[in-house]
Structure 1
Amino acid sequence: MESSKAAVNHLKNLIKENTHILDVGCGPGHYLRSLRKKVSVPFRYTGVDVNPLYVELAKKAFKDHKDVTFQVADIYNLPFEHNSIDIVMCCNVFLHLPSLKKPIEELCRVAKDFILLRTLIGNRSFRIMEVHEQENGDEFNLDGSPKSYNFFNIYRKNYILNILSKIGIRNVEFVEDKDFKPEKIEAAAGEHAEGISVTRMIGNWQVNTYILEPWVFIKIIK
């Protein structure tokens, strides 16, 4: 997974012995796998995800790993104390959320030193709904709203900065994610060609179905 390798490149020099890392939206553990490969010192890792299936898969995959825990948790209400985690990371989650203010506040609340985010950032904000297909073909309600969907949102840089400034955070850096190998993204797309939501390359752009993906890392120092 190219994004996990890129994320670790932003973190590896910050991780010292016994650093505690919280991975919000950890999925089945892609980011932990990349951390293990690139970080030589021992560290503590906690992965949380709202999906119990991902958490169970991660627990099985890393059952023999020391100082690693996984649990079900909601980004809108994280079960951790203020300033209790050295490094908090949250990658590829924000674009799927209905709102960002509370999640950003929660991530900054529990982080002690550093937060790394990865999401879609553009010159303008777009609220995008990916409508789920229905077996009977009836995908929309009478008022035009979709019956089932997930968000695929793009946010303005200044919108994120405004949320952060209101909680007193101003040391923020936005870094375009160019740390990937196009051939690996294409290879992964080929392996999942039958999938509904597959990222491919068009020129230098990562593209998911009809959506150009302006991936950006947001680095926040408290």
Structure 2
Amino acid sequence: MVSIIVRSGVPKVAAGDTVEAGSVLVEGKVPIYNEDATVKEYLYVDADADIVLEHTMEFTDELPFDYVRKEYTGREKSRYYVRFGDREWKMPQERPFLVYDSVIRESRPLILEKLSVPVYTGSYTYREYQNVEHTYTQEEAKEKLKEKLMVFLAGLEEKGIQIIEKDVRINTNASAWVISGQFVVRENVGESAATQKESGGETLK
């Protein structure tokens, strides 16, 4: 543990101590002493403190060697339609290609727009493509894995977690590129809760 600043309660640990998840860090049971240093009674408060913990975190992700990329053949077919409100009329047509996507373009005659008549004309353009399998080059794989790592690091930054040390490596297994990292981080920890007479305090989650 790096630091602990107690606002209410009794600290059960000190800076430099090693703690485990679930440990009581600040107890809400505050002793009131007699003049002879014996405990007269206990005052129960809601334990509250700012606690900074240093610990390790791990990150790992994979990228398969192969991937499928959409490649267009250049073949296209169009289909036109007229739409009135929610109703649409279009020219009959069989399935244009075995594999394809579509682009919709729609317009409204200016005179009908001025008259607020909900009549539109448009077209569907069907574009044929093929799913082609490719293999990542080493540079492509490293770039993709670094993007995954940056998303992970951005998540830590949003949570206010500070990275002290890092060790990141990229290797391969039987079917994929693998990125793995170990990080030494510092973050605010602990969860405040109302203290009960039986037990209570701020614990490490």
TM-score by length of 1: 0.17
- Report which of the two structures shows the higher radius of gyration computed on alpha carbons: 2
Structure number with higher strand proportion:
2
Which structure is richer in relative contact order (CA contacts within 8 A, separation 6 or more)? 2
